[in-house]
């Protein structure tokens, strides 16, 4: 396929357009003045009303159908660049990047090994320790007795324990283990919203049994949480830590940028060690002493990455430019930027589409 010159309109395929933060990603991509083609496995994905075109495709776990759907769409629409938003897609797309490049479509994704190392929280934390980047204590566990021992010594030290799948995402499987003694379940019933985040060791045992697939067991960190938006290309490196001041269901609803040098230095070391490319993110949380500690990595576009664009660093658009070997643009970051998210909606009826 003939390569387009940089001043021509480009066709960008954005996957996972049913994601809660899709409007922000589309906002960032609009700076490229290209045509945005959205895809999702859900035929009712909200992004169909926000993109220029929409197509329902197979899920990434249906690998052959997924690749066939994407490949056909890229050929038909002469797609210049695929921007994936779902974690499950990343390794599949990384493995088949060359096949897409043969039809003239670039894929905004790091190499397969980089993605595997970044997505595995245990391997990521081990890499951080090698680089002298702060982590809490952590280990892998697949036996309930071992898990109970981990919880016991942390309680003696006055710490809570967190368990999570090493390769999970979207808060799936994350639990904070609390003591059952003194817990007022009646008070929780009347005053707390339903949540599966906190549970006792006994409740977790009832779910998992004596043996279970490996879990990452680590310290619960009580301090402020940060998500870092990162751009790493051959020409640019940018890291923007944003403090998550309010969250709902794991989604940032209020945040502020913070020029935290310790976090920025750690992210630069990790990005180089993992050889991550384009735009991606890390999460940190402060411990009891106020020290930022690494939690995990998201080797893809993040849901609130639009905040960086609002601050003058549109790293999503910059990543696409680099992927397509187009001229980069200077960035002027306003570190006083804040984000406040609100619920919107789209109404659809015979009269048309209404957005609020």
Written as six digits, the tokens of 144 are 């309930």
- Both 311 and 241 in one domain: the answer is yes
Do 25 and 153 have their domain in common? Answer: no
CATH number at 34 reads: 3.40.50.20
If you average pLDDT over residues 49-67, what whole number do you get? Answer: 97
Q: Are 129 and 77 in the same domain? A: no
Q: Which residues have a Cβ under 8 Å from the Cβ of 137 and sit 6 or more positions away? A: 218, 219
CA distance 161 to 178: 8
Q: Are residues 89 and 160 in the same domain?
A: no
User: Is residue 196 a part of any domain in this protein?
Assistant: yes
Show Cβ contacts of residue 322 under 8 Å, excluding neighbours closer than 6 positions: 233, 234, 235, 236, 278, 328
Let me know whether 291 and 215 are in one domain.
no
Contacts of residue 321, defined as CB under 8 A and 6 or more positions apart, other chains included, come to 32, 327, 328, 329
Strand 211-219 with 138-143, pairing: antiparallel
Residues 233 and 88 in one domain: no
Residue 352: strand pairing partners: 349
Tokens, residue 148: 């109970």
Tens-digit pLDDT profile for residues 262-291: 999 999 999 999 999 999 999 999 999 999
CATH number of the domain residue 231 falls in: 3.30.470.20
pTM summary value? 0.92
Kindly state whether residues 159 and 254 are assigned to the same domain: no
H or E segment at 187? helix 185-191
The neighbour count for residue 223, using CB atoms within 10 Å, is 15
| Residue percentage of the chain with pLDDT more than 90 | 84
* Dihedral sign, Cα of residue 267, residue 272, residue 273, residue 278: positive
Domain range enclosing 304: 115-133+222-340
Clarify whether residues 189 and 239 are in a common domain. Answer: no
- Please state the domain count of the chain: 3
Are both 91 and 41 inside the same structural domain?
Answer: yes
**Which pLDDT tens digit goes with each residue over 72-86?**
999 999 999 999 999
Give the closest residue to 297 by CA, choosing from 215, 229, 244. Answer: 229
Residues 316 and 329 in one domain: yes
């Amino acid at each position: 396929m003939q390569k387009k010159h940089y001043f021509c309109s480009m066709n960008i395929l954005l996957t996972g357009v049913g994601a809660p933060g899709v409007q922000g990603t589309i906002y960032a991509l609009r700076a490229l003045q290209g045509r945005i083609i959205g895809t999702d496995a859900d035929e009712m994905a909200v992004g169909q009303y926000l993109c220029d075109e929409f197509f329902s495709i197979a899920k990434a776990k249906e690998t052959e159908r997924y690749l066939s759907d994407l490949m056909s769409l890229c050929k038909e629409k002469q797609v210049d660049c695929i921007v994936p938003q779902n974690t499950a897609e990343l390794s599949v797309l990384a493995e088949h990047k060359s096949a897409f490049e043969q039809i003239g479509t670039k894929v905004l994704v790091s190499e397969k090994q980089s993605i595997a190392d970044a997505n595995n929280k245990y391997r990521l934390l081990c890499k951080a320790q090698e680089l002298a980047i702060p982590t809490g204590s952590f280990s892998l566990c697949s036996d309930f007795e071992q898990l109970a021992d981990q919880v016991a010594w942390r309680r003696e030290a006055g710490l809570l324990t967190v368990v999570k799948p090493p390769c999970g995402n979207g808060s799936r499987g994350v639990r904070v283990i609390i003591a059952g003694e003194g817990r007022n379940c009646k008070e929780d019933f009347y005053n707390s919203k339903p949540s599966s985040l906190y549970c006792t060791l006994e409740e977790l045992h009832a779910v998992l049994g004596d043996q279970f697939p490996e879990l990452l067991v680590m310290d619960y960190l009580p301090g402020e949480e940060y998500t870092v938006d990162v751009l790493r290309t051959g020409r640019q490196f940018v890291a923007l830590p944003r403090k998550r001041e309010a969250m709902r269901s794991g989604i940032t609803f209020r945040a502020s940028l913070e020029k935290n040098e310790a976090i920025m230095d750690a992210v630069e070391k990790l990005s180089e060690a993992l050889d991550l490319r384009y735009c991606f993110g890390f999460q940190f949380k402060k411990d009891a002493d106020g020290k930022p500690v690494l939690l995990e990595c998201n080797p893809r576009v993040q849901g609130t990455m639009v905040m960086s664009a609002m601050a003058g660093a549109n790293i999503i658009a910059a990543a696409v430019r680099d992927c397509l070997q187009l001229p980069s643009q200077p960035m002027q970051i306003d570190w006083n930027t804040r984000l406040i998210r609100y619920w919107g909606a789209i109404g659809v009826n015979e009269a048309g589409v209404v957005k609020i």
